[in-house]
Structure 1
Amino acid sequence: MKDIYELFNDISIDADEFEKMEVSEFEKAKLKKVLKKSINRKNKTNSLLKTVAAATIVVGLSVTTFGITFPAYAKNIPVIDDIFRFFDQEELSLNNSSKENLSGSIGTQEKETGIFYDYKKFSSEINMMQESNGIKFTIIDAIFDGKTATLTYTIESEQELGNASISSPKIEGMNAMGGTSNTTKIDKNKYVGILTASNLENKKLDVANIEWNIDSIQNPDNQTVIKGDWKFSFSLNAIDSQNQLSDSSSQKNGVKVNIENISVTPMSFIMYYNQEVSEEVRNTWDRVFVDLEIKDDLGNIYSGQGNGGIGEEGGYNASWSKTFEKLDEKATKLIITPHVSLSDYNSENFSSVQITNSGVKEIPLPEKTGKGKKEFVLEDLVINFNE
């Protein structure tokens, strides 16, 4: 499949067809961003993320790029006030250039829509702003499906924030939560971001009472921390969704995957699943990660984005959730292919420290027989709808 840049070469362009028009700083930033990344894309090699050992797991960081369009493809340009689609276009462009990104998404985007394509339509406008230590933090939109809340925000700061790292919100009644966030700079002193907070317990809420108390913003690029006090409190009614419980499971080579629940909304569907790992695998490999590839009986392949998870160190026994694109209303079956990745810890992908009274102490790498990386695929699971 051609990427967007190859498609440009097939377009016959008449310079007289173009009209000069004013563009915002937001649009300029997106154009600068894609030009810079497109230049570096060919020379970029994936690198493993440093993993910090912890009792709970929160994953889902992804490296993304942004796709641009010419007038012939103007219908694909996200509206300026739609931060959901801003990140959708980033994910869509990356999926078109690679079958696998660092967040573990599998498959190539085949449709003109994306994971967050319709989120703005069904979201609630929040527009709450708090300012502290010279930084303005504004929640723009939010949406809740009964188990997962997705929020967009903007940050204005004269201090460099990089891909700003912030704490996750708390939702009343949710005790086991996973989440992801992505912040990107769009212009001088201006950032936009998207965040998910997902309930990993087997219960659904009609209303999300959200408390988001941010006391610091971290720049992971230079490890600086900016203290502040940004506090938000609001409620979201759950949008209409259909939940289908499942007891489907598949196992191989000491790894078992269980599909627990599927939540279908007007704009997406979310898959909740868990993994179980045998003692033999635990004693051999440092880390186990399971991702899902999903297609339907009509041939559609669905792009997805992980919402994080919670479980044991190393991800041995863990619960996850992942959001996928809008489900084709004509589909009657989902075919789920679990992909398993076993890996070791080494100096390139693992660092663990312990905070003591005398300072920071580094914990040595564990010694296990499994080296490098081993990948395999479990037998397909089939979920039937409309029965």
Structure 2
Amino acid sequence: MSMKDWIDMDIDQLVLLDVTDIEKARVKQHILKKHKKAPIWRDIAVAAVIIGGASTATGFAFPSLAAQIPFMNNVINYFDDEEQRYKNFEAYSTDIDLSQTSNGITVMIDNAVYDGTNITVSFAIETDHDFGETMRISAPNWFGVVGASGSGGSSDITKISDRRYVGLSTFRPHFKNDQYPETVEITWSPQAFNSMSNDLEIRGNWSFGFSLDRLEGDIQLVNETVQSKDVKFTLKSVEFTDVSTVIAYEQVVTDELLEQWPSITPVFQVTDDLGHVYMDGGGGGGVSTNNGKNFKGTTTFGTIHEGASQLFIQPVEIASLMSGQGHTEIKLDPIVIELKK
């Protein structure tokens, strides 16, 4: 069936199983919007070796009929977005539309975006097995990025109907000297899926590879410092993209503080002059070459609400003994950023 046939089709006349009117609308929206397609590169096994520590992929992910499965489109809409973390994700993300089935589990990557620091990938899962209310991907399960020494982030899988799940992963790859490339090449080879409510584990062979171009953003230099007796924090810049806001910072802590608390990590409270909350204790990723004395990092949150003229960023240092042995908080003064109109 051609694209013209799809566009001319009366989607309300389609016969769909277990599909709501909302899901029909999502299919129609997905067909009509003009997203760019991600380049799909085939040498997955080589990429896995370059990353290091990743298992060698033995299969390939090819475009499939995944775009015709209603619940597997616009996955981002299933996730709560009161903090505008995913605003414009659908408009500016890249359509991946890759699907693989193994041992009764179909995994489909829906969309992905690279804001120059972080990568967000939405995906969906349909299974013949009963995983119950919660599912997780067995380790090692993380996305790999060619040329990166590793990555950190978060992943969430939510059940939306009987044996159907949607997932969202946001991660920050670590590159040498924080030199982020214009294009990233991504691999993903989940090895098994586990139920969180029973002993079920299903292993299989799923392997994906695709690349993403960096979104262009506007960088506003800040270079403002706040400090306490033992911590000096400098907000270097704020970058505004169509899908996110990224702050870059540096901090220096004293040897005396590190002797008492071996881990000093900032989290953030971010609001604007209209009262919107963008972060309330969230953190980010970073790197230190001297056991935490000097630390460079970035933190990402959602796009700024229209009409806001000031952004308030308050660092809160979490000084920890690690391994759940105790911690304390060091609250620094907020930094006020005048937003450019």
TM-score range, shorter chain: 0.5 to 0.7
Match of 1:164 in 2: 136
Alignment map for 1:332-351 (pairs within 5 Å) = 332-345=309-322, 349=324
Match of 1:124 in 2: 94
Matched, 1:181 2:155: yes
Aligned mates of 1:219, 1:276 — CA distance in 2? 43
Q: Offset at 1:212?
A: 1.8
Match of 1:138 in 2: 108
Question: What SS does the aligned partner of 1:282 have?
Answer: helix
Q: CA, structure 1 residues 296+273, in 2 after alignment: closer, same or farther (shift >3 Å)?
A: same
Letter of the 2:137 partner, please give it.
Answer: S
Aligned mates of 1:305, 1:235 — CA distance in 2? 32
Bigger drift between 264-273 and 121-130 goes to 264-273
Aligned mates of 1:216, 1:318 — CA distance in 2? 35
Alignment map for 1:221-370 (pairs within 5 Å) = 226-285=202-261, 287-297=263-273, 299-303=275-279, 308-311=284-287, 318-328=295-305, 330-345=307-322, 349=324
Alignment map for 1:19-38 (pairs within 5 Å) = 24=19
Aligned mates of 1:302, 1:221 — CA distance in 2? 33
Q: CA, structure 1 residues 244+213, in 2 after alignment: closer, same or farther (shift >3 Å)?
A: farther
Q: Percent identity?
A: 27
Question: What SS does the aligned partner of 2:156 have?
Answer: strand
Matched, 1:207 2:183: yes
Q: Is the 8 A contact 1:115 1:304 kept in 2?
A: no
Q: CA, structure 1 residues 135+272, in 2 after alignment: closer, same or farther (shift >3 Å)?
A: farther
Q: Offset at 1:241?
A: 1.4
Q: Is the 8 A contact 1:288 1:314 kept in 2?
A: no
Aligned mates of 2:161, 2:76 — CA distance in 1? 18
Report how many residues are paired: 271
Aligned mates of 2:126, 2:162 — CA distance in 1? 9
Alignment map for 1:34-73 (pairs within 5 Å) = none
Match of 2:49 in 1: none
Match of 2:34 in 1: none
Letter of the 1:126 partner, please give it.
Answer: I
Unaligned 5+ segments in structure 1 are 1-21, 29-78, 93-108, 351-371
Q: CA, structure 1 residues 223+342, in 2 after alignment: closer, same or farther (shift >3 Å)?
A: farther
Match of 1:17 in 2: none
Question: What SS does the aligned partner of 2:304 have?
Answer: coil
Alignment map for 1:370-381 (pairs within 5 Å) = 372-381=326-335
Aligned mates of 1:311, 1:227 — CA distance in 2? 34
TM-score by length of 2: 0.65
Q: Offset at 1:381?
A: 2.1
Q: Is the 8 A contact 1:263 1:271 kept in 2?
A: yes
Q: Offset at 1:117?
A: 2.7
Letter of the 1:380 partner, please give it.
Answer: P
Report 1 or 2 for greater relative contact order, CA contacts < 8 Å, sequence distance ≥ 6.
1
Match of 2:47 in 1: none
Cα deviations across residues 227-263 of structure 1 (Å, max 9, x unaligned)? 3221111122222312334433322242333334422
Q: CA, structure 1 residues 341+26, in 2 after alignment: closer, same or farther (shift >3 Å)?
A: farther
Alignment map for 1:86-125 (pairs within 5 Å) = 86-89=78-81, 92=82, 114-125=84-95
Q: CA, structure 1 residues 208+146, in 2 after alignment: closer, same or farther (shift >3 Å)?
A: same
Q: Is the 8 A contact 1:200 1:320 kept in 2?
A: no
TM-score by length of 1: 0.58
Q: CA, structure 1 residues 165+317, in 2 after alignment: closer, same or farther (shift >3 Å)?
A: farther
Q: CA, structure 1 residues 306+377, in 2 after alignment: closer, same or farther (shift >3 Å)?
A: closer
Unaligned 5+ segments in structure 2 are 1-16, 24-70
Q: Is the 8 A contact 2:286 2:297 kept in 1?
A: yes
Aligned mates of 1:311, 1:220 — CA distance in 2? 32
Letter of the 2:209 partner, please give it.
Answer: S
Aligned mates of 1:195, 1:320 — CA distance in 2? 19
Question: What SS does the aligned partner of 2:155 have?
Answer: strand
Q: Offset at 1:289?
A: 3.3
Q: Offset at 1:26?
A: 11
Q: Indicate the RMSD between aligned Cα atoms, in angstroms.
A: 3.7
Letter of the 1:383 partner, please give it.
Answer: I
Aligned mates of 1:26, 1:257 — CA distance in 2? 51
Q: Offset at 1:210?
A: 1.6
Match of 2:121 in 1: 151
